[in-house]
Amino acid sequence: MKIYFAISFLSFFCIEYIFGQTGPAGVGTSVTNILWLDANRGITLTGTSVTNWADQSGNAFNAVPSSVNARPTFVPNSVNSYPSIGFDGTDDELRIADNALLDLTQWHIFIVLVADLQKNYNAWLVKGNDVQENYEMLSYNDGNIHTPLSYTDATRTAPSSAGGQVTTTEFNIIEYSYSSTVGRDVYKNFASIHTDNDNKTPSTNNFELYIGNERSTAGRFINGDLAEVIMFNAPINVAQRIIVNNYLAAKYNKTLTANDLYDEDDVASGNYDHEVAGIGRIDASNIQSNSQGTGLVTVLNPVGLDDNEFYIWGHDNAPAVRSTVSLDYPAGEGLQGRFSRIWRGSETGNITSFDIRFNLAGLGPVTATDLRLLIDTDNDGIFSDETTAGGGVIAGATFVSGITYQFSGVTGLNNNLRFTIGTINIAQTPLPVELLNFEAVYKNDVVHAEWQTASETNNHFFTVEKSNDGKNFSVAGMIDGAGNSSTLKKYKFIDKYPFEGISYYRLKQTDFNGNFKYSKIVSINTAENDSKEIVVYPNPSKGIFHVENLNQKITVLNTLGQKILTAEINSNSSKIDLTEQPTGVYFIEYKLNNKIQYKKIVIQR
C-alpha cells in the first residue's frame, strides 16, 4: 500500500476548509473537484437521447454529443433505481471543450460503468489522441483497465490491469489516481488492480475531453453505460477515498472489497442509499472533517475524531418536507411536526461529538429556537417515543447564515441511529409543506396521472402537461386545487389521448396570485403495455396497498429485514393488508429479470 504524504495535500486542505465541501460525498469543491457528471442530475433530453450532460462540479464543463447521431441514450432505473447513460458502440460519444483546468499533470478519477459488449478499445474517458494521451481509461475484450500516459520527456507507458475488471453483468466502481511523486494506482471497488511508481510529468494537450470514444482513432466507441464520472485535480487522501467509495457503493448497490463502512444502504437497514456523505480520519495526514455533499445535512467540527474513525450518513429519499399525515414525533415534548425525510449514519469508532447543520432552503419563516434535532435513540424506527431527558429531542439550534441552522456539539448520533428535524411551532416555523409525489401510469390505452399534497395554501388549480420530447409541453388537462388545506389530498387525471411511444408528463401548480411551480418530469412508454416498474398505491397509506404490473408471490419485510407477510399478487388479488402493522417503512420483495427487487411502502396514520 502506498503512503500519501501530508505535504502533498496541505494546499488542498486549506482550500477545502475555506470554501466548504460540497463535492461527491462532501469531498472537494469546484477548485479541486473539477468535473462531476451524474446521470441522475443535469441531463437534457430529446426523447430518450442525451443532448447535454451538465457538470455538477460548478465548473460548467458540460459534456455534449458531437452530432445528432452521436447522442447516447438515457437509461432510467438502470442500477439500484438510478439512471445511466447508454453508448451504442457505433457512433455515440460526448465531448467536453478543452480548458486549462482539464489539462492535468496529476489527478484522481472515479467512473461507474458496465459494458454491454466486451470489445477491444472501449474508450471510456480520454484526453488526447492515441499515443498522445494526457490521461485515459480504456478497457479491452477481456475486461482489463488500460491507462496509457504520454510524458513531457516524449516517453510513454501503457499498463493494463488483469482482466475481468469491467463486466457485462454489473456496474463497478473504477478508480484511477496519478502523481509524479506517488505514481499510478488503479482500483476496482476499492481493491487495487494495478500500481506502479512512474514518476514523470504527464504531457498535456489542447484537445477536447472525450467520453465514450477516443479522438482521431477508429473503432473505440464504447458499447456500455456510464452512471457517474468524477475527477479531482490531485490524488485525494485515503480517508477521502474511503468516503467517496462508500458514497458510490451505497448509491449503486456495490460491496467494497475493503473499508465498506456504510451499512445503512442495506435492505434490512432501510435503504438509506441517497446523498451519502461522510467525515473520517486515517491519521493526521489523511482526514476529512467537514462534509455536506449534495444533501441538506453538513457535519463538521468533530471532537475526538481519532485514527480509523468515520461517520458516514445518507437518507431514505422521502420528501424534504414536513409530514402532515404522520404523528411520528414526540408531541409530549412539544413537537408539532417533523420532516418526512429521515437520515441514518454509520459510525466507525467512537467520535465524541460534532456540529450538524441543516440547509433549510424553501422553508419560509424560521425561528431557530423552534427547531429540534430528533434522534431515534433506541433505534426502533420511531421518533414519537423520544424525550429530551433521553437525548432524543435536542434544542439549541442557532442561525448560521442564509438558510443554514446548526446544532452544536451533538453527542447522541451513534452508529446506526436515525435522525431528522422537527418544529415545536408550526405557525411560526412550519417546515416546508409541498407536493408529496407525482406519478404517471399507462393502463388500458390511457395515462393515469396521480399526485398527493400534504397541505395547500392559496392553491388555485393544477395543470397536467405532456410532451413527446421532454422539452416542449402542452396542456393535457386542469383540476381545481383545494385552496387551503392541512390534510392529505389525493388527485387523479386521466389522459385519454397520450402520444405514441415515450411521453413525458409534469404537473404545474398555480396559486390564486398567479405564482406557479412545476413538479418533476415523469415518463411513460405507450409501446409497452405492461411497465416493468410495479405500481403500489396509495403509498403512503393507512395499511391497505394495491399492487399493479406484477403477477407473482411477494414478501413484505420490515426495516429489520424480518418477514411480515407473503401474498400472491395477480389480476384477481392485488391487495396487501398491513392494517395490523405499526406505522413505519416496509419493503415489498419481488423478482424482476431474475433479480430480487424491493419497493418501499410507508404506513402512516
User: Start-end ranges of CATH 2.60.40.1930 in the chain?
Assistant: 532-605
What backbone phi and psi angles, to 5 degrees, belong to 261? -90, -25
**Do the bridges between strand 43-46 and strand 522-525 make them parallel or antiparallel, or are there none, so unpaired?**
unpaired
User: 218-227, 389-398, 453-462, 469-478 — which is least confidently predicted?
Assistant: 453-462
User: Start-end ranges of CATH 2.60.120.200 in the chain?
Assistant: 31-236
Determine the average pLDDT of the residues in 293-314. Answer: 96
Buried b (16+ CB within 10 A) or exposed e, 526-555: eeeeeeebbbbbbbbbebebebbbbeeebe
Report whether the peptide linkage leading into residue 365 is cis, meaning its omega lies within 30 degrees of zero: no
Determine the average pLDDT of the residues in 360-377. Answer: 86
Round to whole Å and give the CA distance between 555 and 586: 10
Determine the average pLDDT of the residues in 306-325. Answer: 85
3-state secondary structure 72-83: CEEEEEEECCEE
Round to whole Å and give the CA distance between 126 and 214: 6
Residue 301's pLDDT is 97
380 pLDDT above the threshold of 50: yes
Per-residue pLDDT band at 573 (split at 50, 70, 90) = confident
Determine the average pLDDT of the residues in 340-367. Answer: 89
525 pLDDT above the threshold of 80: no
CATH number for the domain whose boundaries are 532-605: 2.60.40.1930
Which position has the grid cell 408471490? 553
Residue 319's pLDDT is 74
Per-residue pLDDT band at 53 (split at 50, 70, 90) = very high
Per-residue pLDDT band at 456 (split at 50, 70, 90) = low
Determine the average pLDDT of the residues in 185-197. Answer: 98
Higher pLDDT, 403 or 384: 384
325 pLDDT above the threshold of 70: no
**Do the bridges between strand 64-65 and strand 94-96 make them parallel or antiparallel, or are there none, so unpaired?**
antiparallel
DSSP letters spanning 101-157: GG--SSEEEEEEEEESS--TTEEEEEEEETTEEEEEEEE-TT--EE--EEBTTS-EE
Round to whole Å and give the CA distance between 129 and 523: 39
User: 68-82, 200-214, 357-371 — which is least confidently predicted?
Assistant: 357-371
Determine the average pLDDT of the residues in 53-64. Answer: 95
Round to whole Å and give the CA distance between 314 and 40: 16
How many C-beta neighbours within 10 Å does residue 86 have? 23
Q: Answer whether 29's CB lies under 8 Å from 22's CB.
A: yes
Question: Which of 60, 121, 104, 124 lies closest to 207, judged by CA?
Answer: 104
SS3 call for 600 = strand
471 pLDDT above the threshold of 60: yes
Residue 16's pLDDT is 36
Per-residue pLDDT band at 539 (split at 50, 70, 90) = confident
Residue 513's pLDDT is 62
Q: Answer whether 558's CB lies under 8 Å from 270's CB.
A: no
130 pLDDT above the threshold of 80: yes
Question: Which of 534, 470, 476 lies closest to 501, judged by CA?
Answer: 470
Determine the average pLDDT of the residues in 77-97. Answer: 95
| Sequence-separated (6 or more) residues with CB below 8 Å from residue 160 | 140, 144, 145, 146, 147, 194
Residue 8's pLDDT is 31
What are the strands of the beta sheet with 446-453, ordered from one edge?
435-443, 446-453, 489-495
User: Average pLDDT of the chain?
Assistant: 88
178 pLDDT above the threshold of 50: yes
The CA distances from residue 151 to 70, 154, 181, 198, 392, in Å, are 31, 6, 14, 10, 57
SS3 call for 243 = helix
518 pLDDT above the threshold of 90: no
Residue 168's pLDDT is 97
Any idea which fold 31-236 has? Jelly Rolls (2.60.120)
Residue 156's pLDDT is 97
Q: Answer whether 423's CB lies under 8 Å from 336's CB.
A: yes
Please state the pTM of the whole predicted model. 0.74
251 pLDDT above the threshold of 90: yes
Alpha helices in 218-354 (DSSP H): 238-251
Q: Answer whether 240's CB lies under 8 Å from 310's CB.
A: no
The CA distances from residue 229 to 34, 84, 131, in Å, are 11, 11, 23
Round to whole Å and give the CA distance between 428 and 450: 31
pLDDT tens digits for 543-570?
998 888 887 888 898 866 778 888 888 7
Percent share of the chain, pLDDT over 70: 89
Residue 2's pLDDT is 41
Determine the average pLDDT of the residues in 233-254. Answer: 98
User: Start-end ranges of CATH 2.60.40.10 in the chain?
Assistant: 434-530
Question: Which of 598, 552, 560, 596 lies closest to 581, judged by CA?
Answer: 560
Per-residue pLDDT band at 431 (split at 50, 70, 90) = low
Which CATH number applies to 434-530: 3.40.50.720, 3.40.190.10, 2.60.40.10, 3.40.50.2300?
2.60.40.10
Percent share of the chain, pLDDT over 90: 60
Residue 457's pLDDT is 62
pLDDT tens digits for 212-243?
999 999 999 999 999 999 999 999 999 999 99
